[in-house]
Amino acid sequence: MSGTIYCSNTSILKPKSYFSGRIDEYKDLNGRYNKANGSTKSFSIPKNTKKVKVGWKNVYITTIAGGKAYLGNASSTVKL
């Protein structure tokens, strides 16, 4: 699995990123592990923020057999 996860404000005119980080690929050809890492960093959101947009970009899942699935981009607005 590989891609980018993010958290930003909801403004279209003045977008501001609070967090953006890579999901690192985790390979195990024996299929024993089912996890991706790199998504556990801390970040701050301004105190008066009422809602944020969280999502992912360019996420790919690669199978043990070499197949590849593209999950595209997705996001959701979250009330704080």
With CA atoms as reference, report the closest residue to 74 among 53, 55, 60.
Answer: 55
What pLDDT tens digit does each residue of the chain (80 aa) get?
A: 788 999 999 999 999 999 998 887 665 656 555 555 555 678 899 999 999 999 999 988 877 777 888 988 999 999 99
Our CA angle for 37, 58, 75, nearest 5°, is 90
Neighbours of 3 (CB within 10 A): 22
Rounded to whole angstroms, how far apart are CA atoms 50 and 57?
23
Amino acid sitting at position 20: S
